[in-house]
């Protein structure tokens, strides 16, 4: 009686005798998991040529990924043939796609998408807008990210994005009658937690009323409210914790009503006064629990109204003009400092214009006392001027500081040009920082970066080390233009100023990004 060797294992269609196809005997769910790992739907479809066992398996893959350059008609064919009841993940990388081509396949996935949708469009020869993509209402999507390379985008006028938690819109031109604010507000996005809008043009006011949003980010956004001109950004949310606004253009009014807000960053917004009533405030912020504020836009207490912020601890106050006109004084950020008393962390940027005329005034004298500041960070763009007086004033009002971070902003043009101004320049006034005593009895750590060892820098550091009587550690990172051979002399100069109990650390650059410790001889 013959003994059976058991069931024979299948072989690949083109396999040589004796070569077993062990993959094909695996369960469907494992084979589908293997196809998912390919992260390329066309490649997964090509596995059908292996043997009959693999034919059609790609149609059951719940995650689809179409790589850059896939033709739109192939995307449509694949989605039409796809049989999985649910799509958890869909990524489509397009190239030079027109809006009409997207419209041929995007409606196919609407009922089955229960997960993430990512569309990226790369246009090599951009010659203006080529149509408008009409976005359907994805009721099952929880993440939508669209980067359309300046195609138009029309939002659905009805429907609820019931599961959507993250929405990212990049390089879009908002079109159609439906407003962005209406869609992302709670009635139509009840679960939305994160909203990102970048490199976008919006033709209407953005009015957001949300009970779920936690984070809002807008960068390089143009608000153009048709015939009304500049637009309004109105954010009202009981839940939002972080708002980041950068390079907003054409804002007639910024309104923020956010009782739970912790962090607000506002940088380089272009405000345009209301043409009908120029006396209207440009910004009105109500965030009583705010702890971090970065305000790098213009500040005028008559037009920028900040409510009570009793919990504010970290203030990034932006750029201060050290010398300027009376108009500069009215908008200088010293007015912003005067609003707060219990700041713990303070970031400043002191800016000297290249040409300072004798009739310009010194704008630092009204800087208020800030005795509670423990961490002070100052960035100096001196443009060859003497900066000792302004830093002296900053330290004189922050005598409780424990850590000082000082960075010099030096452009390549400044390196090539004259590094110091004339002795008759007004920047040498007032000269009291060279003679007046200043006791920094709490300062224990100093960090200085982009240090070149110029005459002005050496003079200030010598005075600084004299004021810091309990300094424990000082770290100097030399500018990229300082070679290791030049660093030796600069290190010896700094060591001659320091006390024996102060630990001095030095760093030099190697290449563009790497910095390494430097140990002076002796």
**Residue 427 phi/psi, 5° resolution?**
-65, -20
> How confident is residue 416, by pLDDT bands cut at 50, 70 and 90?
very low
pLDDT at residue 251 tops 80 = yes
Which 8-state DSSP code applies to residue 363?
-
> How confident is residue 444, by pLDDT bands cut at 50, 70 and 90?
very high
Within the chain, how many helices (H) and strands (E) appear?
12, 26
489 burial level (CB within 10 Å; 0-12, 13-18, 19+): exposed
- Each residue's pLDDT tens digit, 292-313: 999 988 888 888 899 999 999 9
pLDDT at residue 330 tops 60 = no
**What integer pLDDT is reported at residue 359 of this predicted model?**
73
Whether the CB-CB separation of 471 and 464 falls below 8 Å is answered with: no
> How confident is residue 137, by pLDDT bands cut at 50, 70 and 90?
very high
Single out the residue of 492, 487, 441, 447 nearest to residue 466, CA to CA. Answer: 441
> How confident is residue 28, by pLDDT bands cut at 50, 70 and 90?
confident
**Residue 517 phi/psi, 5° resolution?**
-60, 145
Whether the CB-CB separation of 110 and 136 falls below 8 Å is answered with: yes
List % helix, strand, coil for the chain (3-state, nearest 5): 20, 35, 45
Strand partners, 243: 216, 264
pLDDT at residue 13 tops 50 = no
- Please tell me which residue, 218 or 58, carries the higher pLDDT value: 218
For residue 238, the Cα-to-chain-centroid distance in whole angstroms is: 23
**What integer pLDDT is reported at residue 73 of this predicted model?**
87
> How confident is residue 146, by pLDDT bands cut at 50, 70 and 90?
very high
Distance CA 491, CA 271 (A): 47
Q: What pTM value is reported for the model?
A: 0.86
**What integer pLDDT is reported at residue 7 of this predicted model?**
42
Matching residue, tokens 């790609």: 58
**Residue 66 phi/psi, 5° resolution?**
-105, 115
Matching residue, tokens 């292996």: 50
Lowest mean pLDDT among 134-148, 202-216, 357-371: 357-371
- Please tell me which residue, 131 or 404, carries the higher pLDDT value: 404
- Please tell me which residue, 233 or 4, carries the higher pLDDT value: 233
Matching residue, tokens 């990388």: 93
**What integer pLDDT is reported at residue 176 of this predicted model?**
86
Distance CA 431, CA 436 (A): 9
> How confident is residue 56, by pLDDT bands cut at 50, 70 and 90?
confident
> How confident is residue 71, by pLDDT bands cut at 50, 70 and 90?
confident
**What integer pLDDT is reported at residue 125 of this predicted model?**
67
37 burial level (CB within 10 Å; 0-12, 13-18, 19+): exposed
**What integer pLDDT is reported at residue 228 of this predicted model?**
57
């Amino acid at each position: 009686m013959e003994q059976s060797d058991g069931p024979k294992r299948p072989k690949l269609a083109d396999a040589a005798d004796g070569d077993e196809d062990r993959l094909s005997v695996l369960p469907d769910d494992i084979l589908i998991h293997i196809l998912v790992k390919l992260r390329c739907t066309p490649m997964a479809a090509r596995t059908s040529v292996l043997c009959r066992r693999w034919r059609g398996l790609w149609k059951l893959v719940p995650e689809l990924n179409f790589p850059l350059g896939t033709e739109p008609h192939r995307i449509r064919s694949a989605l039409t043939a796809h049989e999985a009841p649910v799509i958890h993940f869909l990524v489509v990388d397009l190239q030079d796609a027109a809006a009409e081509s997207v419209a041929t396949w995007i409606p196919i996935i609407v009922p089955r998408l229960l997960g993430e949708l990512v569309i990226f469009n790369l246009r090599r020869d951009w010659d203006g807008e080529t149509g408008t993509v009409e976005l359907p209402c994805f009721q099952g999507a929880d993440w939508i990210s669209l980067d359309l390379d300046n195609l138009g985008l029309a939002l659905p006028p009805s429907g609820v994005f019931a599961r959507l938690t993250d929405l990212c819109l990049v390089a879009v031109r908002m079109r159609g009658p439906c407003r962005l604010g209406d869609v992302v507000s709670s009635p139509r996005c009840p679960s939305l937690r994160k909203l990102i809008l970048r490199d976008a043009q919006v033709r209407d006011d953005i009015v957001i009323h949300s009970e779920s949003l936690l984070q809002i980010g807008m960068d390089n956004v143009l608000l153009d409210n048709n015939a009304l001109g500049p637009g309004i950004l109105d954010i009202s949310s009981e839940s939002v914790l972080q708002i980041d606004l950068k390079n907003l253009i054409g804002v007639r009014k910024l309104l923020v009503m956010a009782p739970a807000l912790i962090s607000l960053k506002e940088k380089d917004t272009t405000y345009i006064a209301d043409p009908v009533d120029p006396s209207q405030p440009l910004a009105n912020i109500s965030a009583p629990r705010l702890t971090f504020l970065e305000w790098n836009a213009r500040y005028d207490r008559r037009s920028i109204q900040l409510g009570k912020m009793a919990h504010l601890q970290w203030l990034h106050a932006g750029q201060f003009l050290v010398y300027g006109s009376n108009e500069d004084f009215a908008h200088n950020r010293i007015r912003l400092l005067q609003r707060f008393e219990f700041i713990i962390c303070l970031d400043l940027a002191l800016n000297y214009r290249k040409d300072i005329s004798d009739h310009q005034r010194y704008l630092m004298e009204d800087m208020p006392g800030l005795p509670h500041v423990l961490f002070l960070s100052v960035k100096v763009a001196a443009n060859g001027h003497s900066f000792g007086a302004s830093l002296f004033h900053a330290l004189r009002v922050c005598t409780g500081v424990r850590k000082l971070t000082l960075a010099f902003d030096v452009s390549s043009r400044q390196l090539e040009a004259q590094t110091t101004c004339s002795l008759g320049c007004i920047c040498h006034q007032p000269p009291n920082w060279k003679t007046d005593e200043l006791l920094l009895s709490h300062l224990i750590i100093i960090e200085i970066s982009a240090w070149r060892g110029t005459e002005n820098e050496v003079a200030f550091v010598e005075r600084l080390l004299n004021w810091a009587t309990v300094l424990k550690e000082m770290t100097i990172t030399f500018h990229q233009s300082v070679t290791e051979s030049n660093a030796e002399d600069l290190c010896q100069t700094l060591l001659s100023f320091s006390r024996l109990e102060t630990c001095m650390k030095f760093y030099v650059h190697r290449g563009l990004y790497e910095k390494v410790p430097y140990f002076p001889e002796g």
